[in-house]
Each structure stands twice: as structure tokens, then as C-alpha cells.
Structure 1
């Protein structure tokens, strides 16, 4: 049976606005971030998309976004958290190394990119193996990007530009594999 996962990035946060590294650390949604989440909610309503279940990262910015998008009960999962950037957390984004990051953050107490991708993939597979057909999962920019990279071999579309706040990635899930079928980047 084919199932659908809507993997979505949270709305803009104070640290996004101030260009701070934000992985496991957290900051609140801005007024624009709340507006972005409301636009995503409208997208789902206008397209008559009804979720069987909803999940969010344990980060407040993700759960706050989800609570604006839908009023349904949801489950917070650590597996949907953003990349752990170690001691770079809260620092200026100017300090980030060039892409790809690979294992750069490991020596600073953070996560390896491959381990991070495996965490996201395993978490999303576990979600979709449940008894549901349409799922919303609110996560983070690098988490969404790395989940896309993990499954790029099954997908015919890709996202080259940055994954914007409240970008929605629509994946089909069948035979234990994900396929990216649509990218919804709102124009705010």
C-alpha cells in the first residue's frame, strides 16, 4: 500500500533571522515564522489533505510550527531533531565549513553526516510502518535536505536551492522506500 509523508521544515526562528547555527539548540518562531506556518496550514486545507498522524522534532520551533498547522494530537520524536552541530551551536553561520560537512562536527561534539542521515531515515521508516496512510512530520532544514539526499536514488525531482522555512516535501512510501514526488516552497 502506498502511503504519503509530508516532511516539513519549521517556520523562521530568531536564530534563523540572526544567522546563528541552530541544530539541537533552539529559539522561538518569529512573527514571519508564525505567518509561514499559517500559510502551510492553508495549503493543506486548500488541497483537502487530512493527516492520519502527525509527528514533530522535540525542538520547540518544530512543535510550535506543527501546532499552528494542525490542531490534531501529535508525537514528538528525537529522531526528527536537527543535525547536532556540537560547540558550533548558537554561533554565527559564518563559521560553518564549506559543504558537504561530512564528519566535520564530530570533533566538536556533534554528529557525523552519515549517522545523521541514518537517524532521519530510520525514524521516518518507523513512522510510516505504523497504521496510517498520510503523515505530517515537522523537522528542520538540514534534516529535510539530508533525508532527501538519502533517498535521491529513488526520486526524479530534486531541490537545488535552500529548503526554505515551512517548505513541504511530499514523499510516497511503498515497499520500505521513499520517493520524493513534490516540493512546495511558499512565496512569502
Structure 2
């Protein structure tokens, strides 16, 4: 049986990413720069000779748009594709769509007595839950459970088919949370770049983090585009 590998990409750069707003369950499309970055990623994945068994993303528009570009560039648009709301981004409740600075440098620091960068995922989630005035944010238990359930369902589905590689598009904080749930040595403040790839293996019911935030596929795709331009 082949190993089951999840190639987990963070979606391309969006309008809210660009102007520093907390996106969460709100949604904006990829910018032209964001689309180009994912084109680079797709070309890099294709150049690496990767063939994916299936594709999975959250149900957010920005991940769907990202996946569409990836599958087109790698020439694998016909593989099975599942949208799963369990691998959505964190929900910031009433602060969803607000400026990152207001959330992480204004509202949240008022309820903590330590450096925000030192907070655990659980502390951060509980803080967001406390300051949310709309009652939309998730508790840590709900948040961590749905993220783990989502990625586990993907891995178990592919493992049951004999294993193989799959492409998954999700969100920065969701990916970071999943990596930490798998390996608590993973730092919280990863700063995963848009279009980066994290690889997680699943074998005999256990996940192993192999790569975090790899930008080499995008960089290779950029080289390919530059080579094409120079050939003109």
C-alpha cells in the first residue's frame, strides 16, 4: 500500500490579505497577484511530476478559485474534487472582516496579560470567542475538533483506496492549527505564505508532518515562467 500524503496549500493572496483584514468566514477573491502566484504553484507542482489522486478544499470562494487554477495548471482537472466546510478558516465572529491590527493589536490584547505572539492556539481561540459580540465564533473544542475531523476524513478516504497523494487547499490559521494538533512542537506563528505547501503523511491511523510552508514549488514555477518569457 502506498503512503497517503496530503499536499496542503494555503490559498492565493486575496483582497483582504492585501489590505490586512481578518478574513475568517468572510470571503474575498484572489487579486491578480494572487492568481499569478497560484499559477506559479501549479506549474511547480507539475514540474515536480506530482499526480494527485483527488482534490479537496474548504467551501470558501478563495480556496475554490485557488484549486481551479492549480488543477488547470497541472492538467488534472478531471480528478475527483470535494469541498469540505470542516477545513474552513477560523471564524472571527463579529470581528470577521475587520482589520488585523484592530483584532490582534487592539481588542485581544485587552484580555491577555502576555505577549500576543506567545499565546497558544487554544488561548487565542478562547480570546476570540470571548470578544465576539455576535455569538458566531467557535470554542476551541469545536474549532479544533472540526479541523482535525476534516483532515482525518480526507486521509482515511484515500488510505482506504490504497493511499496516494492528494492536493488540499485550505487557510493559514486552519493549516497551522492542524499542523500543531499533529505535532505540538509546531510553532503557532508560522506565517504561512499564500501558495506555500505543507506536506503531512498518514499511515496506520497516524499523521506525521513532513514539510511546513514550502515555497519551492512556487519559486520553480516562477523560474519556468521566466524561462518561457526569455524564449520569446
Pick aligned residue for 2:167 from 136, 142, 148: 136
How far 1:93 moved relative to its partner?
0.3
TM-score between the two structures when normalised by the length of structure 1: 0.91
What is the correspondence of 1:100-139 to structure 2 with a 5 Å cutoff?
A: 100=119, 101-107=124-130, 108=132, 109=135, 110-130=137-157, 131=161, 132-139=163-170
Which of the two has greater helix per residue?
2
2:99 to 80, 83, 92: 92
Give the conservation status (yes or no) of the 8 Å contact 1:102–1:114: no
Q: Which runs of 5+ in 1 are unaligned?
A: none
CA deviation after TM superposition for structure 1 residue 182, in Å: 1.7
After superposition, the C-alpha distances for 1:5-60 in whole angstroms (9 at most, x for unaligned) are: 11111000000001001000000100111011111101210111111010111000
Provide the rounded CA distance (Å) in 2 between the counterparts of 1:169 and 1:117: 18
Aligned length: 186
In structure 2, the residue matched to 1:28 is: 29
1:3 aligns with 2:4: yes
Please point out which of 203, 218, 232 is paired with 1:174.
203
What are structure 2's unaligned runs of at least 5 residues?
Answer: 72-76, 109-115, 223-232
| 1:30-49 correspondence runs (5 A) | 30-49=31-50
3-state secondary structure, aligned to 2:12: coil
Q: Could you say if the C-alpha distance between residues 4 and 158 of structure 1 is closer, same or farther in structure 2, counting changes exceeding 3 Å?
A: farther
* Higher Rg of the two aligned structures: 2
What is the aligned-residue RMSD (CA, Å)? 2.0
Corresponding residue SS for 1:102: helix
Preserved contact between residue 125 and residue 138 of structure 2 (Cα < 8 Å):
no
Matched with 1:147 is 178
**How far is the alpha carbon of 1:92 from its aligned partner?**
0.6
| Distance in structure 1 (CA, Å) of the matches to 2:48 and 2:203 | 22
SS at match of 2:125: coil
Task: Work out whether residues 176 and 190 of structure 2, in 8 Å CA contact, stay in contact via their aligned partners in 1.
Answer: no
Q: Distance in 1 between matches of 2:141 and 2:35?
A: 32
The answer on 1:14 being equivalent to 2:37 is no
